Amino acid sequence: MTIIAEEVLLLSYEETEGKQLVSSAHLESALGGALLAELAVNGRIALDGKKVVVKDATPLGNDELDAVLARIAEDSKQRKPESWVYRLQSGKLRKRLLAGLAERGVLSENHRKILGIFPSSRYPERDASVEQKIRERVQSVLDGAGPDERTTMLIAVLRAAKIDRKAFPGLDKQRVKEITKGVWVGEAVAKHIASMNAASAGGAIAAAS
């Protein structure tokens, strides 16, 4: 079974050539949010006011999720979800999840160097049935079916990182907005991305002046 973060990854890469469809910054923010989403769906964390709290510290048996759960439980202070997205997102997380999908035969892992210098990695699908099932589940909800909590969280994270429009061209934006309204994990990812964009813009203005 795939976790939400893996589902985000599979929808963020082109199936045949394995090209990444969105920027690494957006994708990695989505993955940080997806880990929170998975813990929430499994009843391990929840939002108490504006802060993330642990409701059940029992491990789930997944290394990534259990490490995050322990990290939240052991933190000396309660933090806002966007703060956790910032702390969890990283290129190392993305690479670990991709490597795990490759080890399980879901993806292939192809490495090369552009111009013989710059490393580049592609992740074409090896077992297309895994992503197809995810797509069918999401498309059913986009077409009007009642969403379960896991699919709602997934769509909210995809929307926040603008992956939804890449993975599902022509989707009904109003339908997506209705599904994801008030989903705190999606809002956290969106806030983190907005703060990154603001910082980037501020840096560019400072450099120009």
**Predicted pLDDT of residue 118:** 64
How do residues 27-37 score in pLDDT, each as one tens digit?
A: 999 999 999 99
Q: Give strand ranges (E) for the chain.
A: 45-48, 51-54, 110-114, 118-122
Please say if the pLDDT value at position 208 is more than 50. no
Q: What is the pLDDT of residue 197?
A: 80
Residue 92 CA to chain centroid, in angstroms? 14
CA–CA distance, 123 with 92 (Å, rounded to integer): 16
Separation CA 69–CA 105 (nearest Å)? 27
Token representation of residue 9: 């990854």
pTM (2 d.p.): 0.91
Q: Is the pLDDT of residue 97 over 90?
A: yes
Q: For the chain, give the number of residues.
A: 209
pLDDT at 205: 46
List all residues 6 or more positions away from 159 whose beta carbon is below 8 Å from its beta carbon.
176, 177, 180, 186
Indicate the range of 5-9, 82-86, 112-116 predicted with least confidence: 112-116
Domains by residue range for the chain, with CATH: 4-196 (1.10.3630.10)
* Neighbouring residues of 57: CB distance < 8 A, sequence distance ≥ 6: 44, 69, 70, 73
Question: For residue 44, is pLDDT > 90?
Answer: yes
Mean pLDDT, residues 78-85 taken together: 97
Instruction: Kindly report the number of other CB atoms within 10 A of residue 2's CB atom.
Output: 18
Residue 57 vs residues 53, 65, 67: alpha-carbon distances, Å:
10, 11, 11
Closest CA to 110 of 99, 100, 118: 99
Rounded to whole angstroms, the Cα distance separating 157 from 153 reads 6
Q: What is the pLDDT of residue 209?
A: 42
Give me the phi and psi of 106, to 5 degrees please: -80, -40
3-class secondary structure, 49: coil
- pLDDT at residue 81, as a whole number: 97
What mean pLDDT do residues 92-115 have?
88
Phi and psi at residue 70, to the nearest 5°: -65, -40
- The answer to whether the Cα torsion of 173, 175, 181, 184 is positive or negative is negative
